[in-house]
Amino acid sequence: MNPTSLLLATFILSIAGLFVFIWSLRKGLFDVETSGSKVIFTPDDIGHYHDPAADPHEIDTLNIQTGRRNISHSDIANRPHDHSSTLPCFVLFGSAVFWLVFASLAGLVSSYKLHNPDFLTHSLALTFGVMRTIHLNLVAYGWAPLGVLGLAMWMLPRLLRAPLVGGRFAIAGAVIWNIALIAGIAAIANGKNAGMEWLEIPWQVGVLFALGGMMIGLSMVFTLFTHKVHHLYVSVWYIGAALFWFPVLYIVAKMPGVHFGIEQATTNWWFAHNVLGLFYTPLSIAAVYYFLPKVIGRPVHSYNLSLLGFWTLAFFYGQVGAHHLIGGPVPEWLLTLSIVQSMMMLIPVVAFSLNQHLTLKGHFQALKHSPTLRFIVFGAMMYTLASVQGSFEALRSFNAVTHFTHFTVAHAHLGMYGFVSMVIFGGIYFVLPQILKFSWPYPKLISWHFWLVVAGFSVYMISLMTAGVLQGLALQDASKPFMDSVTVTLPWLKGRSLGGSLMVAGHLVFAFHFASMVVFALSTKPFQKLSLTTEG
Amino acid sequence: MENSLKLIAGSMVTLSFATCALVALPFLQLKDVPAPEALKPYSPGQARGRNAYIANGCIACHTQQPSTTGAGIADAQRGWGRASVAADYHYDSPPLLGTMRTGPDLFNIGERQPSEDWHLGHLYQPRLYVPGSVMPGFPYLFEIKNKAETTKGDRVVSLPEGAIPDGKVVVAGEEALNLVAYLTGMKHNYPVLTPEEAKLAALRKARVPTND
């Protein structure tokens, strides 16, 4: 039997197995709405808009105008188990926002250096290659994971109707994680770089990430196994799986002394793609599945579509990583497998997108009034775009142009920024008022934040995708000197810096607003009464 | 779905498929691939230069994989060498394949540009050699001295006229010299076996193990 038919047989067999497995988990497969989708609501919640980040009068008016019920906001804001996660979430969000500021500044400096190469060249820490690596690591190990874990930790007690177990351990874990990040960035800035993309932080520091991450994760895992609900809501699947996926990915990838030669490269992309696909993505999807229905007061349209979406994501996403090595010195069957699974990713993506669209249908006017919804829906739309773009980028014909170009960087930002970061923003806008028992002090700044980052992000994406395509076409033309592929990108790289500046401005607005809210909340109410406590 | 154990078990099974495909199978398939005879291990200086390549984040803009698709085909026509194979990376841990060609592929840079002087000067200030280049200079790998103060062991970089003020010279630091030793050693122009030839060679080797 030749490898191709063997591969094909394995593929068909495992797909069949996957669908049988999904079928075995279904419950009322053909119902449009199953009871499972209502787990996130108390009976009072369904049928009216609700957003702690919005102007309460606007939401009241909206509820009345649309003929929906209007009930007092304080009634729905308080949930019995919220207090258990308050302080750990606060620590996670606070650190996430702190790292966001540095991460985006490092990104902006890198972007600027690419068209002004003589800017800041007098030390290793400031050189382009190092600055870009610092940007990536601050996002990948600072802002994004702390943000999504904070959201997950806040959602879990609500979803499971059980208090968070071991909140103090989670806080200690977050502290260790932050220390690890500082040590890791210091290592990179001093030339101690492990040499693999997304895994540059040396394994000696990685041990701290594993420890801190485990303390954060275990607190949620123990909560998961003590749950009191009859039904695990779709967000719980994504959170639960991601909590087990990430440690396996990180520990296997960082294991010293095991990997060698080209196998290291395949492991590298197995990790780097899966940390997106099996960690940031599922945790962000979990947030969308929670906040979107929650704000509009309507259960997810088709619960079974979400079941299909989850298991197909779990199955296909894990195997797509090698598409980063198309044309490279790796076994050909591996590339084919990853390309096929990249296309199969359209199934979970369409399932998710369709579901969100059908849930939101008829409620688009709420986007005008709910900041949370605006960020979350924008994020969900970018997830669809990023995934479809990613699937096509894996095709050899498309890849031939975009591989090795700025297009890849643009694509990474479509996922990590357009999707993940926007969802974190939206989630924090919803959650922080409930953690601090205090409203956002300057609602106008939320709009400023939104429009600055959306405008900046649009400029960023259009510029960088154009740069990538032009660069790719120039690289493919052997009659042109290599320098042509650099020259064509320059105006667009400047455009990227412009877009990036707007995004950074948006982040500064956000960080300022976050900090002001914390200061106001703590100064107007005694510290203890904010229920910034893990007791109970 | 009601059962958290079923959830976790199912999701670990899917991850193990992925791990088999992307980690375990390449591990098994590639672990016995021998180094090409013509490929020499790095000298201590080159190995230190390779570390400098990693530390300075050169991988952010340069690939080390003349590929078989797209830009790789054009690069081959430019005379930048054959596509690389797994065996070429025998001594590389980790391999520095890279994902960006903001700068050119460097897998055969030692062939294309063997001059040590060129590399040193180019690292000091790329735009003296390649107008319009967006590569940063690495002045911190060099030292500017008065011409009179240089000692016998100093490697003075020969720069184009007017690059630095009269009476001054640029002296290459240890790290710059190592980096250039690494770059000028990047030559992968030896022939490699096709997969079929490699399979036959492996079979022959398996049948007569005592010959090794």
Question: Any chain B CB within 8 A of the CB of A262?
Answer: yes
B69-90 residue pLDDT tens: 889 999 999 999 999 999 999 9
CA Rg value for chain A? 23
Percent of chain A with pLDDT over 70: 93
- A121 touching B, CB under 8 A? yes
- Substitution target in B7, B59, B199 with the highest count of A β-carbons within 10 Å is B7
* pLDDT reported for residue B88: 93
Closest C-alpha among A289, A348, A373 to residue A36: A289
Q: Report chain A's terminal Cα–Cα distance, integer Å.
A: 62
**A218, A235, A255, A260, best to mutate vs chain B, most B CBs in 10 Å:** A260
CB contact under 8 A, B15 and A129: no
How far does the CA of residue B15 sit from the closest CA of chain A (Å)? 6
Asked if A127 lies within 8 A of B88 by C-beta distance, the reply is: no
Q: Chain-wide mean pLDDT for chain A?
A: 90
Q: Is the dihedral of CA A446, A447, A448, A454 positive or negative?
A: positive
Q: What phi, psi does B109 have (nearest 5°)?
A: -65, -30
d(CA A471, CA B71): 10
The CATH code for residues B32-123+174-206 is: 1.10.760.10
Could you report the predicted ipTM of this complex, rounded to two decimals? 0.91
> Nearest chain B Cα to A122, which residue?
B140
pTM: 0.92
Structure tokens at A389: 């773009």
Closest CB from A117, A130, A401 relative to B56 = A130
CA atoms within 13 A on the CB side of B186: 29
| Residue A534: pLDDT band with limits 50, 70, 90 | very low
Record: contact A197-B102, CB cut-off 8 A: no
The nearest alpha carbon in chain B to A262 belongs to B86
Q: Give A12's contacts (C-beta < 8 A, 6+ positions apart).
A: none
Q: Which residue of B has its CA nearest to A322?
A: B22
Q: pLDDT: is A389 or A256 the higher one?
A: A389
Could you write out the three-class secondary structure of chain B? CCCHHHHHHHHHHHHHHHHHHHHHHHHHHHCCCCCCCCCCCCCHHHHHHHHHHHHCCHHHCCCCCCCCCCHHHHHHHCCCCCCCCHHHHCCCCCCCCCCCCCCCCCCCHHHHCCCHHHHHHHHHCHHHCCCCCCCCCCHHHEEEEEHHHCCCCCCECCCCCCCCCCCEEEEECHHHHHHHHHHHCCCCCCCCCCHHHHHHHHHHHHHCHHHC
Task: Say if the Cβ atoms of B23 and A270 lie within 8 Å.
Answer: yes
Q: DSSP secondary-structure letter at A47?
A: T
Structure tokens at A136: 């990536």
Domain map of chain B by residue range? Answer: 32-123+174-206
- Return the number of other C-beta atoms located less than 10 Å from residue A16's C-beta: 10
Chain B hits for A264, Cβ within 8 Å: 93-95
Res. A335: pLDDT tops 70: yes
C-alpha B20, offset from chain centre: 27
| Closest CB from B14, B60, B70 relative to A133 | B60
CA angle A494–A496–A502, rounded 5-degree value: 110
Question: If you count them, how many residues does chain A have?
Answer: 536
In chain A, which among 426-485 make CB contacts under 8 A with chain B?
A: 471-472, 475-478, 482-483, 485
Pure H helices in A190-202 = none
Contact A114 B102 (CB under 8 A): yes
Question: Out of A298-302, A371-375, A448-452, B64-68, which region has the weakest mean confidence (pLDDT)?
Answer: A298-302
Asked if the Cβ–Cβ distance from B17 to A14 is below 8 Å, we say yes
Contact list in A for residue B175 (CB cut-off 8 A) is none
Q: A431: helix, coil or strand?
A: helix
Cis peptide leading into B94, omega within 30 of 0? yes
> Residue B69 and residue A483: Cβ atoms within 8 Å?
no
Mark yes or no for CB contact A127/B2 under 8 Å: no
Q: Do B73 and A476 touch (CB under 8 A)?
A: yes
Q: Does B92 contact A261 at a Cβ distance shorter than 8 Å? A: yes
- Put simply, the answer to whether B4 touches A224 (Cβ < 8 Å) is yes
Tens digits of residue pLDDT in A11-33: 787 778 777 777 766 655 445 44
What is the C-alpha separation between A100 and A505, in angstroms, rounded? 12
pLDDT band at residue A1, thresholds of 50, 70 and 90? low
Residues A171 and A95: their CA atoms lie apart, in Å, by 11
What are residue B171's DSSP bridge partners?
B143, B156
Residues 6 or more apart from A291 whose CB is under 8 A from it?
A372, A373, A376, A426, A427, A430
The alpha carbon of A49 is separated from its chain's Cα centroid by a whole number of angstroms, namely: 25
Rounded Cα distance between B212 and B204, Å, is: 11
pLDDT digits (tens, 9 = 90+) for B18-66: 898 888 888 988 888 888 888 999 999 999 999 999 999 999 999 999 9
Q: Which of B93, B107, B123 is nearest to A127 (CA)?
A: B123
Q: Quick check: B69 and A403 CB within 8 A?
A: yes
Contacts with B87 (C-beta within 8 Å, 6 or more apart), sequence order: B33, B34, B35, B36, B39, B192
Decide if B15 and A314 are in contact by the 8 Å CB cutoff. yes
Pick from B14, B30, B70: which is nearest to A401 by CB?
A: B70
Name the nearest CA neighbour of A113 among A102, A101, A125.
A125
Query: Which of B55, B88, B92 faces A124 most closely, judged by CB atoms?
Result: B55
Q: Is A323 on the interface with B (CB under 8 A)?
A: no
Task: With CB atoms and an 8 Å threshold, state whether B140 touches A124.
Answer: yes
Q: How much is the average pLDDT of A327-352? A: 91
